[in-house]
């Protein structure tokens, strides 16, 4: 499986994401600069954290118009596994690939620490290696991670089991403690916590590695060639 790590001006978690795929998962991965106009040949797309374009206007609001995003949207709509972490989640929201919006943390402070998450849905291509209801430890590092959506959208997310992760505690004010959601099709996941920073015990937790292993396993199963 070959992954693309999309790099915007201001990305700063691209190397973490690259390490998670190349060294921890053992799969192929390339950095793809935001000006690229093709994602042909990539089986998975990763939008890393950071401060794309300095987070001017709103986090992810400018990055959403980068040339490569046309290809990200096209690939996501064609079923390619697409993961946006932290700023990458914000970009996915701005691009309309996921519903809702981000606000400043309710404490109006940057939060950077390990947090506990509950796996709300393990029947996805991103979470099949977890147990339903399992509590995992993944670090957060954000100032605008307070997820918001209206009542209608929340009801839809709940009904379709699109809420993938919730915070155990009230971390940033996110509605219903939402930490990660996916699209209806099930191939686009946005989450504020950083699984790429939790892929080996030396980092304090290896719970994030199973997310990438889930992507790989599900991709392989869907690409089995029947004789």
Catalytic residues: 86, 194, 196
- Alpha-carbon distance of 206 to 114, in angstroms, equals 12
Which phi and psi angles does 7 have, rounded to 5°? -115, 120
Q: DSSP character for 171?
A: S
Secondary structure (DSSP) of 192-210: SS-GGG-SBGGGTB-TTHH
**Alpha-carbon distance values, 64 to 4, 92, 171, 207 (Å):** 17, 8, 26, 29
Q: Count of H helices and E strands in the chain?
A: 5, 11
Residue tagged 């996110």 (tokens): 174
């Amino acid at each position: 499986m070959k992954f693309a790590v999309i790099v915007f001006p201001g990305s700063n978690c691209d190397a973490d994401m690259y390490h998670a795929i190349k060294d921890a998962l053992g799969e192929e991965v390339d950095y793809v600069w935001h000006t690229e106009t093709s994602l042909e040949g990539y089986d998975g797309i990763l939008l890393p954290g950071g401060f794309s374009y300095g987070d001017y206007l709103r986090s992810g609001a400018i990055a959403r118009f980068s040339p490569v995003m046309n290809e990200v949207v096209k690939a996501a709509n064609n079923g390619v596994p697409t993961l946006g972490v932290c700023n990458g989640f914000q970009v996915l929201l701005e691009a309309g690939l996921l519903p809702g919006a981000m606000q400043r943390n309710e404490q109006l402070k940057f939060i950077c620490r390990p947090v506990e998450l509950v796996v709300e849905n393990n029947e996805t291509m991103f979470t099949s290696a977890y147990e339903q209801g399992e509590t995992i430890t993944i670090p957060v590092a954000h100032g605008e991670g307070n997820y918001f959506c209206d009542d209608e959208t929340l009801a839809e997310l709940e009904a379709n089991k699109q809420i993938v992760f919730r915070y155990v505690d009230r971390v940033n004010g996110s509605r219903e403690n939402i930490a990660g959601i996916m699209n209806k099709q099930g191939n686009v996941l946005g989450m504020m916590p950083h699984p790429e920073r939790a892929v080996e015990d030396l980092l304090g937790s290896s719970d994030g590695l199973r997310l990438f292993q889930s992507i790989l396993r599900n991709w392989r199963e869907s690409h089995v060639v029947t004789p």
